[in-house]
Structure 1
Amino acid sequence: MTPKELRSQIRRGIFRSPTSGQCPGYVQANIAILPAQYAADFAEFCRRNPKACPVLAVSEPGSFELPELGEDIDIRTDISGYVSFLGGKHHEELQNLSDVWQDDLVTFAIGCSFSFDHLLASAGLPVRHLEMNVVSPVYVTDVANESVGPFGGELVVSMRPMSVSQTIQAIEVTSRHPRVHGAPVHFGDAGAIGINDIGRPDFGEPVFIREQEIPVFWACGVTPQRAILSAQLPLAFAHKPGHMLVTDLLIEDQSLV
């Protein structure tokens, strides 16, 4: 299935699942949608926190299209799950944004590490959440983001367990792709970044860690949602964790080499 075909199924309500493992070879994107008056500060927040918030595209105010990322994208309908935020709190989950869209909303598309999972697998490296057919485990750390205006919050990370030698290989593979988070931000002791129970992720599902494996952490595109919560915006939207926009961009075209 091509990304356009998958987006069509999502738009028609046929596909409602997480997008991990879908359309391997194509870039997936996290989404943050907020009123235009906050867009400049949010753009600067992303610039200052590039590991967690590598921006792929930004819409015009009120536009629900992202032509840089794919043909016929409608950001109101082409994600398999949305969340809304009101006044710094999670409000509700939504299947689409058609009935709540406003003319001042600006969409930020931010690279997602799902994009390089197939590269890791092709290199013979374990991608445990794909092996187990679960949503990748995601954790809120105690590492503060660099704040801009009202936006701050903490770094959020996804985790893939690997051996030490595999971790070195994974660093080599993913460092070539900074537009989808690039190399890991931490590996080994989870407590060093404020994760007290590796078996209880804040989002996604736990995965088993084999003997001789260590947890390897990549910056995660749920980080902007923490920033939105800290900003206490009157209204904002985002993808439901694990439910990404699947773009027409090929990951190989986004490599540094």
Structure 2
Amino acid sequence: MNVQWYPGHMTKAKRQMQEDIKLIDLIIELVDSRVPLASRNPDIDELGRNKARLILLNKSDLGDERQNEAWKAYFQAKGFYVVKVDSRSGAGMKAIQAAIQEACKEKTERDRRRGIKNRPIRAMVVGIPNVGKSTFINTFAGRACAKTGNKPGVTKGKQWIRLNKNVELLDTPGILWPKFEDEEVGMRLAYIGSIKDDILNLEELSLTLIDFLREKYAGALEKRYQIAEEGTAVQVLEAIARSRGCLKKGEELDYAKASLILFDDFRSGKIGRITLEWVPQEEK
């Protein structure tokens, strides 16, 4: 699956970020805990050189907890501060303030030596579309100050948000990179909904998702749909369609409807806590 999707507003947003990066002390990058590498924008590392960095493993309630811990250790080993969060429920939010202060300790100390007191830390919040940035900002700030939506690309322009006397946040639109060189990256982002479903072949994607789940999370589909997991991926999708009554006229199975159900259940966590991307063995 070769995905090339780079709307004009994203090109403009990247140029704007290059300007805004000069104004900030810290980059807070949200990644999806189910695909921590695929949901990172390679541009951010280039844009954020010499800035303090904090990675939030968002939607950690949907990711496999063992893998959440493995990814946390992976990013910490690369020099990032890391906090596991669930922006919707607010889990992990209390740890973020301390992580921000720790990540910016050098900046605060530098200000103090120069006689600058109480200058708030300015942080830029970044992340690809649909990773949960706006929900995070609203939960962290304790009020609805950033527009939210469950479709990619809701946030179109930048806005500063004063959280308290210590921290100001700069919200930015979600950015994807121009081309996914690795086909697996595109597929993983499609699985979690960061690419709009209407440009994808969900039936084809559902077969690869079924194969992954059977390999890494054996029994999860059986438990959710009361079906046997044996046979081909097509046979499993047929079993899901029968289990959920996905029929067209004349008792013909509706594969498209069954695929939608599978993806809705996966994305909402109803199949279980599942991480699609595991820490490379050589890095553990």
Q: Which interval holds the TM-score relative to the shorter structure? A: under 0.3
TM-score, normalised relative to structure 2: 0.24
| Greater relative contact order (Cα < 8 A, sep 6+) | 1
Rg larger in 1 or in 2?
2
